[in-house]
Amino acid sequence: MENLNVYAAKMAPQQEFLAGGHRACQGCAELLAVRLVAKTLGHDYIIANATGCLEIVTSSFPHSAWKVPWIHVAFENAAAVASGVEAAVKVLQRKGKYPVDRKITILAQAGDGGTVDIGLQALSGALERGHDMIYICYDNEAYMNTGVQRSSSTPYGATTTTSPSGKVDPLGQHTMKKNIVEIAAAHNVPYVATASPSYPFDLMAKVKKAAETPGPAYIHCFVPCPTGWRMAPNLAVSIGRIAVESKVFPLYEIVDGEYRMTVTHKNHRPVSDYLQPQGRFRHLNEDHIAEIQQQVDKSYERLLKKVKMSSIELD
Amino acid sequence: MAKRVGIEVSLAISEAVKLAQVDAVAAYPITPQTHIVEHLSELVAEGELDAAFIPVESEHSAMSVCAGTSAAGARTYTATSSQGLALMNEILFIIPALRLPIVMTIANRALSGPISIWNDHSDIMSVRDTGWIAIFAENGQEAFDLTLQSFKIAEDHRVLLPISVNIDGFTLSHVIEPHEFLDQEEVNRFLPEYKPAVQLNPDDPVSMGAVGVPEIYAEAKKCQDEVLKGSITVIKEVFAEFAEMFGREYKVVETYQAEGAETLLLTMGSVGETAMEAIDQLRAAGRKVGLVRLRLWRPFPAADLRAAVRGIKTLAVIDRAVSFGGTGGPVAGEVRSALYSVKDAPYVASFITGLGGRDITVDDFIGMANQAEAMAKANEIHEYKMIGVRE
């Protein structure tokens, strides 16, 4: 099965539902991820989009990059709008009043700010109510659309325009990245996963699984942002791979509460391989890097324990 | 056949929403709106209404869910009050821009702080410029009738705008009144099934809520205002059709004992009925005093108002909200603007009263009529007078 990816590439749908010509920056991994998600979900789905990079680069009137029905209302409410679309399609289909009687997938999508900060309440409400929908957070680890301000998804030590590395306070972001994946999982939803466009077939498989799972599914997608991370645009895909190889962003899924790693590596790279190419970490000294290595190791160990616990069969 | 039912006004509104056969209701509980949505959830649970009832985690999400249900083509209803309306504020602006015909009852309640659960109009005044059609009901029958008519107005393809039906919290929402109900067959004859102009549908994909670049934003806003202003034609048509079918006539500006009046009081909402009692007493004493009741707050029926006050000397506008630091009560400000360029326009006295549930009595109205006439005689320059306040 080592060559699975060779076949998978050939089996991926050819059709595109996100048109080219949108206004994303060069090397934007978010739009790459979105394109893969769109391919996977195919024709029969409706998107509720939060305000943010993705919304502005794809919908500048009179242009639209969307070949599927798409609605944008505001920043913090993609989950709520998607809940409404889901509830309406369901009731209208039941009453024979919706023009399509096939199964329609409902997708909410937002950035990290629109998910972990301002959109957290609406997300929690939608997950708790159990709508049959997918929520995808495209996490580029700061408010990129407004000019790289820190969010609660910004990692420890990253410099942003509101967590700058200064003379008196050289660290940059002081707080640990909020673990939104665990927060989503705590709602006891049937499917939660992390994903990355640097691992396209893993991402597509997860989106497919999320669509097929009845009830709410949450996917946290890691999308490197060359502009905000201060790195060359051609590094977006490789830095996403290094994030996984260095345990910074492990790829796993939680199915009905059971944890499973979906991508594993035998020899992990040091976090310095991940930090070094990015301008946002350039100010960090050796002590900082050692501290980050410790944090990464610790949270990876914690994750592995959950995976291990999940595989134990109880009589 | 129509039947007379003694029922709480909140429940009558829920029954109207049921008769409108809505597809989706998303709501968050807030006093004094609760009885409306409680009853709706019960109707859904009992199978009397085939709709999605979405019990959301906030009013912000209530209106956001409504955006989603309406955009997907569902006839959509919600209800709120006060702080709930304030929390919805951001989304309220977006609904008319997306042309989503959502109907919402606002059980009018004072805004914090200090926190107050009681009635005034500060909530609706705070969302005056969100682009919603705003209608006021004075009693339970009006609330029932206007709820049904609102769906027809909102969903007309010449309108496609959201509507708020305003009822005074507690003084209207929580009282039991006789209502003449319509039956399902009658409602179906009046209110056709909702046919969305555009809806989220994979077979005919649309992008809704695109970015408005500077080259297009002003045009979008101008269109929106034209549609809102133009909706008055449809509102009058629907009122006329309703009157024709069921015999109860509504007007955007209503008058009572205005014939030959020299002084008119102007109210919105349930206090109009108290004011009528005051007018009766004043008329009995030989005074030429009448009443104007503003039913339609947005779009502001300026032409109808001018016609209603033509030839009178004094107009006493009764506001139930404060426009802090402003030049008068919010309704008085609009009225003064509408009359400013009218030749021989009446003197406009601005009274603010009935804040946060403070009663406005018959004597208060008589006092305001007297005071307004004295102020007009002296041509007193003023911004507003607050009535019944301890200073």
* Residue-level pLDDT, tens digit, chain B, 391 residues: 568 999 999 999 999 999 999 999 999 999 999 999 999 999 999 999 999 999 999 999 999 999 999 999 999 999 999 999 999 999 999 999 999 999 999 999 999 999 999 999 999 999 999 999 999 999 999 999 999 999 999 999 999 999 999 999 999 999 999 999 999 999 999 999 999 999 999 999 999 999 999 999 999 999 999 999 999 999 999 999 999 999 999 999 999 999 999 999 999 999 999 999 999 999 999 999 999 999 999 999 999 999 999 999 999 999 999 999 999 999 999 999 999 999 999 999 999 999 999 999 999 999 999 999 999 999 999 999 999 999 8
The verdict on a CB contact (< 8 Å) between B211 and A59 is yes
Q: Would you tell me which residues 134-173 of chain B have a C-beta closer than 8 angstroms to some C-beta of chain A?
A: none
CATH of span B253-386:
3.40.50.920
B11's tokens: 């429940």
Closest CA to A273 of A250, A299, A293: A293
DSSP state of B356: G
Q: Which residue has the tokens 């007309």?
A: B156
The verdict on a CB contact (< 8 Å) between A89 and B72 is yes
CA distances from B301 to B254, B304, B307, B331 (A): 11, 5, 10, 12
Q: Is beta strand A252-255 parallel, antiparallel or unpaired with respect to B3-8?
A: unpaired
* Chain A residues touching B26 at Cβ < 8 A: 84, 87
Helix axes A4-11, A200-212, angle to 10 degrees: 60
DSSP state of B354: -
A215 touching B (Cβ < 8 Å):
no
- The verdict on ipTM greater than 0.85 is yes
CA distances from B333 to B202, B299, B383 (A): 47, 15, 9
Rounded to whole angstroms, the Cα distance separating B222 from B226 reads: 6
DSSP state of B101: -
Indicate the residue of B57, B199, B207 with minimum beta-carbon distance to A64. Answer: B207
B66 touching A (Cβ < 8 Å):
yes
> In chain B, where are the structural domains located?
3-246, 253-386
The verdict on a CB contact (< 8 Å) between B24 and A87 is yes
* Chain B residues touching A125 at Cβ < 8 A: 56-58, 61
Rounded to whole angstroms, the Cα distance separating B27 from B34 reads: 9
Contact B289, B316 (CB under 8 A): no
Q: Is B340 helix (H, G, I), strand (E, B) or coil?
A: coil
Residue in A with minimal Cα distance to B201? A69
> In chain A, where are the structural domains located?
13-311
CATH of span B3-246:
3.40.50.970
The verdict on a CB contact (< 8 Å) between A91 and B52 is yes
Determine the number of helices (DSSP H) and then strands (DSSP E) in chain A.
Answer: 11, 8
Q: Which long-range contacts (CB under 8 A, 24 or more apart) does B374-380 make?
A: B375/B314, B375/B347, B375/B349, B376/B263, B376/B313, B376/B314, B376/B346, B376/B347, B376/B349, B379/B347
Closest CA to A113 of A163, A150, A156, A72: A150
Closest CA to B269 of B391, B106, B97: B106
**pLDDT of B1:** 53
Q: Which residue has the tokens 């700058």?
A: A164
Closest CA to B23 of A72, A82, A68, A86: A86
* Chain A residues touching B57 at Cβ < 8 A: 121-122, 124-125, 128
Indicate the residue of A72, A76, A91 with minimum beta-carbon distance to B51. Answer: A91
The verdict on a CB contact (< 8 Å) between A64 and B51 is no
The verdict on a CB contact (< 8 Å) between A91 and B50 is yes
A90 touching B (Cβ < 8 Å):
yes
Helix axes B330-339, B302-309, angle to 10 degrees: 80
The verdict on a CB contact (< 8 Å) between A68 and B210 is no
Considering only the C-alpha atoms of chain B, give the largest distance between any 2 of them, rounded to a whole number of Å: 69
**pLDDT of A248:** 98
CA distances from B273 to B13, B256, B269, B277, B294 (A): 19, 10, 9, 7, 13
The verdict on a CB contact (< 8 Å) between B201 and A125 is no
pLDDT below 50 — which residues of chain A? 1
Q: Would you tell me which residues 184-203 of chain B have a C-beta closer than 8 angstroms to some C-beta of chain A?
A: 193, 199-203
Q: Would you tell me which residues 244-273 of chain A have a C-beta closer than 8 angstroms to some C-beta of chain B?
A: none
Please give the CATH architecture assigned to the domain spanning A13-311: 3-Layer(aba) Sandwich (3.40)
* Chain A residues touching B98 at Cβ < 8 A: 71, 73
B130 touching A (Cβ < 8 Å):
no
Q: Would you tell me which residues 110-139 of chain A have a C-beta closer than 8 angstroms to some C-beta of chain B?
A: 121-122, 124-125, 128-129
The verdict on a CB contact (< 8 Å) between B61 and A122 is yes
**pLDDT of A233:** 97
